[in-house]
Amino acid sequence: MRFALPLAVLIALLALFAVGLQRDPRRVPSPLIGKPAPAFDLPTIALPGPPGAAPPPARMTQADLRGAPVLVNFFASWCAGCQDEHPFLMELARSGEVRLVGIDYKDAESDLRRWLGRHGDPYAVVLSDLSGNTGIDWGVYGVPETFVLDAQGRIVFKQIGPLTPEAWQRIRPLLQGSAS
């Protein structure tokens, strides 16, 4: 009985540490969740898409992301994590489950073309954020980062780091909820 209180405090502290130490401090929650996608106006990069596909418009804005759920993937040819997630993005593109929009972050167009040529192009359209200003407006602090937008152009989820199959399992129900 004498030790009941100290023991309770100790257990509470241990529980706090157990939860706290398992959280990754590198994953900073985005304040943009639940908000409309930040404005942008970026040039698209003309890429050899599937035969017969219409070429993308020369520029796109956040308004062009509305209408259907979409994954906005900030990536770059110089980024190692992007190479890690790339095979899964290719798989996702083949499944046709969701539209993938790539934003090429602070990257030379020639590097991007070579990189997509080597690894494959999973994107419906690729935009070029050469200055990194759109990245700043979206709160990107390290590529790859993937934003999940619902049909209304609202950010419902942000994946920091490579998009893994496990992350996709968590994202998929969010898209189904927003589509209906």
Partner 1 sequence: MRYALAALLLACAMSAVRAQVETPKPPIPLDARQEAQYKALLPELRCLVCQNESLADSQAPLAADLRYEIRGLIAKGASDADVKRYLVARYGEFVLYRPRLEARTLLLWGGPFLLLLAACAGVLSYARRRARPAAPPPVDEGALRRLLEEQDR
Cβ proximity to partner 1, 20 vs 165, nearer residue: 20
Q: Is 36 near partner 1 (CB under 8 A)?
A: no
Other residues' Cβ atoms within 10 Å of the Cβ of residue 79: 19
Binding mask 140-169 for partner 1 (x = CB under 8 A): -xx---------------------------
Residue 56 · residue 44 · CB < 8 Å: yes
Nearer to partner 1 (CB atom), residue 159 or residue 168: 159
Least distance from C-beta 164 to partner 1, angstroms?
21
Q: How many other CB atoms sit within 10 Å of the CB of residue 149?
A: 25
Tell me the window of 58-66, 91-99, 119-127, 138-146 that interacts with partner 1 (CB under 8 A).
138-146
Question: Closest CB to partner 1 among 11 and 68?
Answer: 11
Looking only at residues 75 through 134 of this chain, which bind partner 1 when binding is defined by CB under 8 A?
76-78, 105-108, 111, 130-133
Contacts of 39 (CB under 8 A, 6+ apart): 61, 62, 137
The phi and psi torsions of 110 (rounded to 5 degrees) equal -65, -40
Buried b (16+ CB within 10 A) or exposed e, 99-138: bbbbbbbbbeeeebbebbeeeebbbbbbbbbeeeebbeeb
Residue (105 or 168) nearer to partner 1, CB: 105
Q: Are 44 and 127 in contact (CB under 8 A)?
A: yes
Question: What is the contact surface with partner 1 in residues (CB under 8 A)?
Answer: 25-26, 28-32, 38, 76-78, 105-108, 111, 130-133, 136-139, 141-142
